[in-house]
Amino acid sequence: MYFSSREEQFRILLKLSLIALYILVAYDFAILVAGYFAIQANIAESLTSAALVRNVIFLLAVAELIATYFVKISMLKKTKKSTAGDAAKPGILPYPDLLRITIVIAAMCSAISTYGLVLVLLGNRFEILLLFIALSLIGYQFFRLRPRDFERDDTSSN
């Protein structure tokens, strides 16, 4: 399904972003509850090298954020190239492509909060989980699709 105009595409894009954000917040809330109950039940095992593991997982989360940016750019370029040959609707991405990109961005950002839960289960403090959840939500806000992602390429191709 193609959109009839850019305004319709941006309206649908906003709805997709909000739905993905609500799903991500619900997932992060579930992770938060699971981490809280894991700490209360003393399920967490204390590691002797907890600081090293925490730092490695934190670097993994930062690498995931960087990868999210590059995956987003790559998916946008690939989708734009595939729709560039369609003379009927130039520059307007179809709905399934926008949905796919939004789902991938939300899934990659949700993995970050899962890393925080892993750290809590390995014996780290609850505040570490909150840090990873915040990183997950902030990452989604930075990398979600926006109208400017499409306007930038339109001006650079002229």
Amino acid at 109: C
What's the residue count for the chain? 158
Q: What is the pLDDT of residues 122-135, one digit of tens each?
A: 888 899 999 999 99
Instruction: Say if 114 falls within a structural domain.
Output: yes
Number of domains present in the structure of the chain: 1
Give Cβ neighbours of residue 129 (< 8 Å, ≥ 6 apart): 31, 32, 35, 113, 116, 117, 119, 120
Q: What is the pLDDT of residues 100-155, one digit of tens each?
A: 999 999 999 999 999 999 988 888 889 999 999 999 999 999 999 888 887 654 44
Q: Which domain holds residue 37?
A: 6-147
Instruction: Say if 108 falls within a structural domain.
Output: yes
d(CA 72, CA 101): 7
Instruction: Say if 42 falls within a structural domain.
Output: yes
Instruction: Say if 156 falls within a structural domain.
Output: no
